[in-house]
Amino acid sequence: MALPITYKEVNVADAIVFEALSQRFPKLRENICNYPQYFFRGSSYPDHLSDDSLSIEDRTARRQEVEDDATAAQKDKKPLWAKFLSDDSGEKQVADSACRFLFSSFKSGDPLSINELRMAHPNRMARYLRCTAIDGIPDAEEIHGILSDPVKWGQALSVSDNKELSSLLGWFSIHIQSWPCSASDIEICIKKLVDKSQHVVVVESETTKGISRVMWELLQHDKCTPDTYNKCLPDIIEKTPIHVSWNFGYEVPKERNENFRNSVLFKESTEKWIDRARKAINGELDGILLHYILFRIPYLQNGSYEEVHAITSKMCETDDGLDKLLSGYDDYKNDDPRPSPSFSIIKDPEHLVSRIEKSSLNAKYYWLIEPLKGWKNQQNILARILNAPLPP
């Protein structure tokens, strides 16, 4: 047992139950960490698989899946985590009892208290997982001390080892919301993150994701005043690489969401980011980052795909443009089973199939033809449903 190193971090009873659950139901433990939204509020943790590498459409699909499962679970009067329980009635009962003990606070909607050290709080669960890992866990006070000291913060960000820095950024992200700080502290931290982002060139690195995540966590801190938000956001939009700032419209703090989206600042920020996106698309942008940007533009244009369809149609006119666009689907190629990618950024999938078949890239992207045809069929079915007359 890891009680000697965890009793100050998490509730002892929770630790015992979770360890027993982990030993008896290792797959359930894995699902708790990879699909925390089925058990409590949170996101995937550093020790386990993360959904950060998912494309926007896949992440949206996952959210929709959770919502659909939640609706079904409520209808069947079952807990949301029932999806991951064994079919064996005896095993199911034991696992369900453990989950109810650990996560009932979330299920009942009662407020969670970090002071109670309950694992139902995602930060506490994350800390437990790190405590029981080989490399241990940085203390919250240590993290807060670094965030509060500009010199230490600068030194932390200057770490040359990307793996070490990304791990540290992950823990900054976890502990930011409990950081007792001022608005000026937040400004200083964001400024240094903006500076650091300009020297990170690997788009898909964990460091890039970590910087982006920490910035948005800082902007959502209780001490981040509207003035601080309005001051920091333009710097993020204008000075960070586009693959760092692309989250800004999506990650607006919920309590400010409606008012902010109607503000002049949001409209100006949106226009600036889209203008940067257009320039990047016309440059050397390709692969998954190109898709990140293409899927983000409609989100910031009230769901309209008109501009994106014009962009992708233009790209498909040449083999070089076609290669840049289709390279964004490469991650799907070797998945088994292969998921069905979203082609909503493509105006006419049927025309794209023809382009692939007739281009010099036929051998490279022939595997996309069947998914494209399937997407076209889905569109046709949906169109028929939407255009069908209402029943009498």
DSSP string, 325-343: HHGGGHHHHT-SSPP----
Provide the pLDDT confidence category of residue 307 given band limits of 50, 70 and 90.
Answer: very high
User: Do 172 and 42 belong together in one domain?
Assistant: no
User: Do 21 and 131 belong together in one domain?
Assistant: yes
Nearest to 277 by CA among 299, 300, 297, 248: 297
**Boundary of a domain, candidates 137, 153, 173:** 137
Q: In angstroms, rounded to a whole number, what is the distance separating the alpha carbons of residues 13 and 15?
A: 5
What are the angstrom distances between the C-alpha of 19 and each of 2, 22, 118, 126, 253?
A: 9, 5, 14, 14, 35
User: Do 254 and 296 belong together in one domain?
Assistant: no
Report the chain's C-alpha Rg in angstroms: 23
122-131, 176-185, 285-294: which has the minimum mean pLDDT? Answer: 122-131
CA 114-73-31 angle, 5° bins: 55
Of 59-63, 86-90, 148-152, which one has max mean pLDDT?
Answer: 148-152
User: Do 86 and 6 belong together in one domain?
Assistant: yes
**Boundary of a domain, candidates 121, 137, 153:** 137
User: Do 186 and 212 belong together in one domain?
Assistant: yes
Predicted local distance difference test score (pLDDT) of residue 77:
85
Q: In angstroms, rounded to a whole number, what is the distance separating the alpha carbons of residues 84 and 74?
A: 16
User: Do 1 and 121 belong together in one domain?
Assistant: yes
User: Do 94 and 165 belong together in one domain?
Assistant: no
Of 69-78, 122-131, 147-156, which one has max mean pLDDT?
Answer: 147-156
Q: In angstroms, rounded to a whole number, what is the distance separating the alpha carbons of residues 317 and 178?
A: 52
User: Do 83 and 21 belong together in one domain?
Assistant: yes
Predicted local distance difference test score (pLDDT) of residue 315:
92
**Structure confidence by residue, pLDDT tens digits, 132-149:** 654 555 667 888 999 999
Interacting residues of 251 by C-beta distance below 8 A, sequence separation 6+: 216, 219, 220
Asked if residue 273 belongs to a domain, the reply is: no
**Residue 110 DSSP symbol:** P
Asked if residue 313 belongs to a domain, the reply is: yes
Q: How many domains does the structure of the chain reveal? A: 3
Give the residue numbers spanning the domain of 64.
1-137
Predicted local distance difference test score (pLDDT) of residue 336:
43
Per the prediction, the chain carries an average pLDDT of 77
Predicted local distance difference test score (pLDDT) of residue 8:
65
User: Do 10 and 78 belong together in one domain?
Assistant: yes
Question: Residue 54: is its pLDDT beyond 70?
Answer: no
Nearest to 95 by CA among 12, 1, 17, 16: 17
User: Do 133 and 32 belong together in one domain?
Assistant: yes
| Contact criterion met (CB below 8 Å) for 297 and 277 | yes
Global pTM exceeds 0.75: no
**Boundary of a domain, candidates 110, 137, 164:** 137
